[in-house]
Amino acid sequence: MMQDTIGVLALQGAFREHIKSLQRIGIATRKVRLPADLIGLGGLIIPGGESTAIGKLARLYGLLAPLQRLAHSGFPMWGTCAGLILLADRVTHRASDQPLIGGLDIFVSRNYFGRQVNSFETELSVPALAPFSANGEAAFHAVFIRAPAVMSVASGVEVLARLDSAPSGKGVIVAVRQKALLATAFHPELTDDTRFHRYFANLVAAAEQRVDAEIVAAAA
């Protein structure tokens, strides 16, 4: 079976780090800047950065409509930080003209931690990562940078991690999955721990979807 290529939206933000993490686990990867770059991909990562800038650039380059269509069609996508904001159906403190991709039935506070502590690092318990851990451990070192948080999730959305302890918000949801859509409020690509990248690669393999030229053209 041919291995899937995982794209990384490369308009703004921490896309290079995701590409490095994917390369480290032997996954073929491609930067996505234009709609045609999506064709043939098995999954896509929306990186951290500035969600308004990423959304506006995506609209400018004709990517917004194809991305919205893909997110609602079972195509595997993973948003980190700003990417989590973009994949959410509902966002507070959103700029009035901020475009969203949507697809994840969650309610997100855009600058939940930014208002209180700009950045912090903490250990999270993520039981879903245990199959990817040598010793089956669930602890994940998570880096938060002006991070959003998930205020509520609809039924059908799996909560993968909550804050155990932090300067703010014990119990706050920071990682979720809904079918093939994954979102983390923190930045696994800024650490050496590739378990979330392997978890996402498994979602991609299970989904067995490839972006065809028709989807990209129809949404344009």
Q: Which residues are catalytic?
A: 81, 187, 189
Looking at 24-32, 141-149, 156-164, 206-214, which segment touches ligand GLN (CB under 6 A)?
A: 141-149
Residue with structure tokens 């490839």? 210
Residue choice 68, 111, 122, 125 for contact with ligand GLN (CB under 6 A) = 111
Backbone angles phi, psi at 42, to 5 degrees: -100, -15
User: Which of 27, 81 has the CB closer to ligand GLN?
Assistant: 81
User: CA–CA separation, 77 vs 44, rounded Å?
Assistant: 5
CB 63 within 8 A of CB 216: no
49 is a contact residue toward ligand GLN (CB under 6 A): yes
User: Which of 132, 200 has the CB closer to ligand GLN?
Assistant: 200
Beta carbon of residue 78, minimum distance to ligand GLN (angstroms, whole number):
13
184 is a contact residue toward ligand GLN (CB under 6 A): no
Residue choice 145, 160, 163, 190 for contact with ligand GLN (CB under 6 A) = 145
CB 92 within 8 A of CB 57: no
CB 92 within 8 A of CB 107: yes
H or E element in which residue 119 lies? strand 119-125
Which chain residues interact with ligand GLN by CB under 6 A? 48-51, 81-82, 85, 110-111, 114, 145-146, 148
